Protein backbone atom coordinates (compact mmCIF):
# COMPACT_ATOMS: atom_id res chain seq x y z
CA UNK A 1 0.00 0.00 0.00
CA UNK A 2 1.51 3.32 -1.05
CA UNK A 3 0.65 6.32 1.13
CA UNK A 4 -0.62 9.11 -1.14
CA UNK A 5 1.47 12.27 -1.15
CA UNK A 6 0.39 15.87 -1.72
CA UNK A 7 3.63 17.80 -2.19
CA UNK A 8 3.93 21.57 -2.54
CA UNK A 9 6.86 23.30 -4.20
CA UNK A 10 6.93 26.96 -3.20
CA UNK A 11 9.88 27.69 -5.55
CA UNK A 12 11.34 31.18 -4.91
CA UNK A 13 8.23 32.38 -3.11
CA UNK A 14 7.55 32.99 0.55
CA UNK A 15 8.61 35.09 3.52
CA UNK A 16 8.21 34.31 7.22
CA UNK A 17 4.65 35.63 7.10
CA UNK A 18 3.79 32.96 4.49
CA UNK A 19 4.20 30.25 7.13
CA UNK A 20 0.74 31.12 8.46
CA UNK A 21 -0.53 29.20 5.39
CA UNK A 22 0.76 26.01 7.04
CA UNK A 23 -1.76 26.50 9.86
CA UNK A 24 -4.51 26.55 7.30
CA UNK A 25 -3.23 23.27 5.82
CA UNK A 26 -2.70 21.49 9.15
CA UNK A 27 -6.23 20.12 9.58
CA UNK A 28 -6.35 18.62 6.08
CA UNK A 29 -2.85 17.24 6.67
CA UNK A 30 -4.18 15.03 9.48
CA UNK A 31 -5.99 12.90 6.86
CA UNK A 32 -4.85 9.66 5.25
CA UNK A 33 -2.46 11.27 2.77
CA UNK A 34 0.96 12.61 3.58
CA UNK A 35 1.45 16.35 3.03
CA UNK A 36 4.80 17.88 2.16
CA UNK A 37 5.73 21.54 1.70
CA UNK A 38 9.07 22.53 0.18
CA UNK A 39 9.62 26.22 0.97
CA UNK A 40 12.72 28.19 -0.06
CA UNK A 41 15.83 27.22 1.94
CA UNK A 42 15.53 30.35 4.10
CA UNK A 43 12.25 29.05 5.53
CA UNK A 44 13.02 25.35 6.04
CA UNK A 45 13.93 25.64 9.74
CA UNK A 46 11.04 27.93 10.62
CA UNK A 47 8.60 25.86 8.53
CA UNK A 48 9.58 22.63 10.25
CA UNK A 49 8.93 24.32 13.61
CA UNK A 50 5.60 25.71 12.44
CA UNK A 51 4.43 22.46 10.83
CA UNK A 52 4.45 20.63 14.19
CA UNK A 53 4.66 17.18 12.66
CA UNK A 54 1.49 17.20 10.54
CA UNK A 55 3.22 18.53 7.45
CA UNK A 56 6.59 17.21 6.27
CA UNK A 57 9.08 19.87 5.17
CA UNK A 58 11.55 19.55 2.31
CA UNK A 59 14.24 21.46 0.45
CA UNK A 60 14.07 22.25 -3.28
CA UNK A 61 17.64 21.25 -4.12
CA UNK A 62 20.87 20.22 -2.41
CA UNK A 63 24.56 20.12 -3.33
CA UNK A 64 26.18 16.78 -4.13
CA UNK A 65 28.91 17.40 -1.53
CA UNK A 66 28.42 17.26 2.21
CA UNK A 67 30.30 20.54 2.81
CA UNK A 68 33.00 22.73 1.29
CA UNK A 69 33.75 25.76 -0.86
CA UNK A 70 30.41 26.09 -2.65
CA UNK A 71 29.21 29.63 -2.04
CA UNK A 72 25.46 29.93 -1.94
CA UNK A 73 24.77 26.21 -1.96
CA UNK A 74 23.07 24.09 0.69
CA UNK A 75 23.99 20.50 1.52
CA UNK A 76 21.57 17.67 2.20
CA UNK A 77 22.88 17.43 5.77
CA UNK A 78 22.11 21.13 6.31
CA UNK A 79 18.54 20.62 5.14
CA UNK A 80 18.19 17.64 7.44
CA UNK A 81 19.67 19.64 10.33
CA UNK A 82 17.11 22.40 9.67
CA UNK A 83 14.27 19.90 10.01
CA UNK A 84 13.71 18.76 6.42
CA UNK A 85 12.86 15.14 5.73
CA UNK A 86 12.55 15.48 1.94
CA UNK A 87 14.32 17.22 -0.91
CA UNK A 88 13.14 17.85 -4.48
CA UNK A 89 15.87 17.07 -7.03
CA UNK A 90 16.09 17.44 -10.79
CA UNK A 91 13.23 19.92 -11.14
CA UNK A 92 13.12 21.16 -14.74
CA UNK A 93 13.74 24.72 -13.52
CA UNK A 94 17.01 23.52 -11.96
CA UNK A 95 17.88 21.54 -15.08
CA UNK A 96 17.28 24.65 -17.24
CA UNK A 97 18.39 27.54 -15.01
CA UNK A 98 21.42 25.75 -13.54
CA UNK A 99 22.30 23.43 -16.41
CA UNK A 100 21.76 20.34 -14.25
CA UNK A 101 22.06 17.03 -16.05
CA UNK A 102 20.99 13.53 -15.06
CA UNK A 103 24.48 12.77 -13.73
CA UNK A 104 24.27 15.80 -11.40
CA UNK A 105 20.84 14.76 -10.20
CA UNK A 106 22.11 11.26 -9.52
CA UNK A 107 25.03 12.56 -7.43
CA UNK A 108 22.71 14.86 -5.48
CA UNK A 109 20.33 11.97 -4.89
CA UNK A 110 23.15 9.87 -3.45
CA UNK A 111 24.11 12.78 -1.17
CA UNK A 112 20.51 13.20 -0.04
CA UNK A 113 20.21 9.48 0.78
CA UNK A 114 23.51 9.63 2.65
CA UNK A 115 22.03 12.41 4.80
CA UNK A 116 18.82 10.44 5.35
CA UNK A 117 16.51 12.55 3.19
CA UNK A 118 13.68 11.19 1.06
CA UNK A 119 14.08 12.38 -2.55
CA UNK A 120 11.33 13.62 -4.84
CA UNK A 121 13.10 13.21 -8.17
CA UNK A 122 11.56 15.04 -11.14
CA UNK A 123 11.49 13.84 -14.73
CA UNK A 124 9.62 15.23 -17.72
CA UNK A 125 9.68 15.93 -21.42
CA UNK A 126 9.63 19.23 -23.31
CA UNK A 127 6.85 20.07 -25.76
CA UNK A 128 9.16 19.41 -28.71
CA UNK A 129 10.00 15.97 -27.32
CA UNK A 130 6.32 15.13 -26.85
CA UNK A 131 5.42 16.35 -30.32
CA UNK A 132 8.20 14.19 -31.76
CA UNK A 133 6.70 11.17 -29.92
CA UNK A 134 9.84 10.83 -27.80
CA UNK A 135 8.20 11.14 -24.38
CA UNK A 136 8.76 7.59 -23.16
CA UNK A 137 12.35 7.52 -24.44
CA UNK A 138 13.10 10.75 -22.58
CA UNK A 139 11.47 9.58 -19.36
CA UNK A 140 13.16 6.17 -19.58
CA UNK A 141 16.55 7.80 -20.10
CA UNK A 142 16.08 10.22 -17.20
CA UNK A 143 15.04 7.40 -14.88
CA UNK A 144 17.98 5.23 -15.92
CA UNK A 145 20.56 7.98 -15.57
CA UNK A 146 19.35 10.09 -12.65
CA UNK A 147 18.09 7.43 -10.23
CA UNK A 148 21.02 5.76 -8.41
CA UNK A 149 21.13 2.09 -7.47
CA UNK A 150 19.69 1.49 -4.03
CA UNK A 151 16.28 3.08 -4.56
CA UNK A 152 13.48 1.96 -2.25
CA UNK A 153 9.97 3.11 -1.45
CA UNK A 154 11.44 4.69 1.69
CA UNK A 155 13.99 6.92 -0.02
CA UNK A 156 12.51 7.75 -3.43
CA UNK A 157 9.44 9.38 -4.93
CA UNK A 158 9.32 10.12 -8.66
CA UNK A 159 7.45 13.16 -9.96
CA UNK A 160 6.44 13.14 -13.63
CA UNK A 161 6.35 16.80 -14.64
CA UNK A 162 5.95 17.54 -18.35
CA UNK A 163 7.89 20.79 -18.76
CA UNK A 164 5.16 22.26 -20.98
CA UNK A 165 2.59 21.76 -18.21
CA UNK A 166 4.49 23.54 -15.44
CA UNK A 167 2.92 26.88 -14.60
CA UNK A 168 1.15 27.05 -17.97
CA UNK A 169 -2.36 25.87 -17.14
CA UNK A 170 -1.90 23.13 -19.80
CA UNK A 171 -2.38 19.59 -18.51
CA UNK A 172 -1.84 16.30 -20.37
CA UNK A 173 -4.89 14.13 -20.93
CA UNK A 174 -5.50 11.47 -18.31
CA UNK A 175 -4.52 8.88 -20.95
CA UNK A 176 -1.19 10.64 -21.48
CA UNK A 177 -0.53 10.79 -17.72
CA UNK A 178 -1.53 7.13 -17.32
CA UNK A 179 0.74 6.03 -20.17
CA UNK A 180 3.79 7.68 -18.57
CA UNK A 181 2.99 6.52 -15.03
CA UNK A 182 2.42 2.90 -16.11
CA UNK A 183 5.67 3.07 -18.07
CA UNK A 184 7.59 4.43 -15.06
CA UNK A 185 6.13 1.74 -12.79
CA UNK A 186 7.20 -0.98 -15.24
CA UNK A 187 10.70 0.49 -15.55
CA UNK A 188 11.13 0.65 -11.76
CA UNK A 189 9.88 -2.92 -11.33
CA UNK A 190 12.25 -4.15 -14.02
CA UNK A 191 15.28 -2.44 -12.53
CA UNK A 192 14.65 -2.75 -8.79
CA UNK A 193 12.37 -5.80 -8.63
CA UNK A 194 8.61 -5.94 -8.20
CA UNK A 195 8.56 -5.25 -4.47
CA UNK A 196 10.62 -2.06 -4.63
CA UNK A 197 9.20 -1.01 -7.99
CA UNK A 198 5.67 -1.16 -6.64
CA UNK A 199 6.52 0.70 -3.44
CA UNK A 200 7.98 3.86 -5.01
CA UNK A 201 5.34 6.59 -5.16
CA UNK A 202 4.73 8.30 -8.50
CA UNK A 203 3.45 11.88 -8.46
CA UNK A 204 2.06 13.91 -11.32
CA UNK A 205 3.07 17.59 -11.47
CA UNK A 206 2.12 20.43 -13.82
CA UNK A 207 -0.78 22.86 -13.37
CA UNK A 208 -2.58 20.71 -10.79
CA UNK A 209 -5.40 22.65 -9.16
CA UNK A 210 -8.58 21.97 -7.21
CA UNK A 211 -10.64 21.66 -10.39
CA UNK A 212 -8.52 18.93 -12.04
CA UNK A 213 -7.04 17.11 -9.02
CA UNK A 214 -9.74 14.47 -8.61
CA UNK A 215 -9.59 13.43 -12.26
CA UNK A 216 -5.78 13.20 -12.17
CA UNK A 217 -5.74 11.24 -8.89
CA UNK A 218 -8.06 8.63 -10.45
CA UNK A 219 -5.40 7.73 -13.05
CA UNK A 220 -3.63 4.40 -12.53
CA UNK A 221 -0.27 4.63 -10.79
CA UNK A 222 -0.78 8.27 -9.78
CA UNK A 223 0.01 8.36 -6.06
CA UNK A 224 -0.36 12.09 -5.57
CA UNK A 225 0.86 15.38 -6.96
CA UNK A 226 3.75 17.82 -6.93
CA UNK A 227 2.06 21.21 -6.95
CA UNK A 228 3.65 24.61 -7.57
CA UNK A 229 1.43 27.68 -7.75
CA UNK A 230 -1.59 26.07 -6.10
CA UNK A 231 0.43 25.06 -3.01
CA UNK A 232 1.23 28.60 -1.88
CA UNK A 233 -2.13 29.31 -0.26
CA UNK A 234 -4.04 26.99 2.03
CA UNK A 235 -7.27 27.95 0.23
CA UNK A 236 -5.87 26.45 -3.00
CA UNK A 237 -3.90 23.52 -1.59
CA UNK A 238 -6.41 22.15 0.93
CA UNK A 239 -8.95 21.09 -1.75
CA UNK A 240 -6.13 19.24 -3.54
CA UNK A 241 -5.17 17.43 -0.31
CA UNK A 242 -8.84 16.61 0.24
CA UNK A 243 -9.18 15.22 -3.28
CA UNK A 244 -6.36 12.83 -2.44
CA UNK A 245 -7.63 11.81 1.02
Q: Active-site residues: which are they?
A: 91, 161
Q: Which of 30-38, 53-61, 190-198, 206-214 is the region at the interface with ligand PEP (rule: CB under 6 A)?
A: 206-214
For the chain, helix, strand, coil in percent to 5 are 50, 15, 35
113 labeled part of a ligand binding site: no
What span, in angstroms and rounded, lies between the C-alpha atoms of 86 and 156?
9
Of the residues 162, 205, 238, 240, which one makes contact with ligand PEP according to CB under 6 A: 205
**Is 127 an interacting residue with respect to ligand PEP (CB under 6 A)?**
no
Torsion of CA 213, 154, 9, 47, to 10 degrees: 120
**Is 166 an interacting residue with respect to ligand PEP (CB under 6 A)?**
yes
Of the residues 37, 117, 222, 227, which one makes contact with ligand PEP according to CB under 6 A: 227
58 labeled part of a ligand binding site: no
Give the shortest CB-203-to-ligand PEP separation in angstroms.
9
**Is 139 an interacting residue with respect to ligand PEP (CB under 6 A)?**
no
126 labeled part of a ligand binding site: no
- Per the CB < 8 A criterion, the answer to whether 20 and 47 are in contact is no
Bridge-partner residues for 7, per DSSP?
36, 226
**Is 206 an interacting residue with respect to ligand PEP (CB under 6 A)?**
yes
Give the shortest CB-132-to-ligand PEP separation in angstroms.
22
What span, in angstroms and rounded, lies between the C-alpha atoms of 22 and 51?
6
CB neighbours (10 Å) of residue 145? 14
Give the shortest CB-71-to-ligand PEP separation in angstroms.
25
- Per the CB < 8 A criterion, the answer to whether 79 and 59 are in contact is yes
Determine the 3-state secondary structure of 75 from DSSP.
strand
Bridge-partner residues for 63, per DSSP?
75
197 labeled part of a ligand binding site: no
**Is 148 an interacting residue with respect to ligand PEP (CB under 6 A)?**
no
**Is 9 an interacting residue with respect to ligand PEP (CB under 6 A)?**
yes
Give the shortest CB-49-to-ligand PEP separation in angstroms.
24
Neighbouring residues of 103: CB distance < 8 A, sequence distance ≥ 6: 145, 146
- Per the CB < 8 A criterion, the answer to whether 236 and 25 are in contact is no
10 labeled part of a ligand binding site: yes
Nearer to ligand PEP, 152 or 168 (CB): 168
- Interface with ligand PEP (CB under 6 A): 9, 161, 166-167, 205-208, 226-230
Amino acid sequence: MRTKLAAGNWKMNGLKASLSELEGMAEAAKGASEVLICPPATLVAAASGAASGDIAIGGQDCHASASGAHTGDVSAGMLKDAGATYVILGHSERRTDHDEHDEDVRAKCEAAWEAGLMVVLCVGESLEEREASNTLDIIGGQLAKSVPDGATGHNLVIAYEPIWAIGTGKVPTTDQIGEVHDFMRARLEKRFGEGVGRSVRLLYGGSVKASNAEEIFAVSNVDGALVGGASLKAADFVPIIEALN
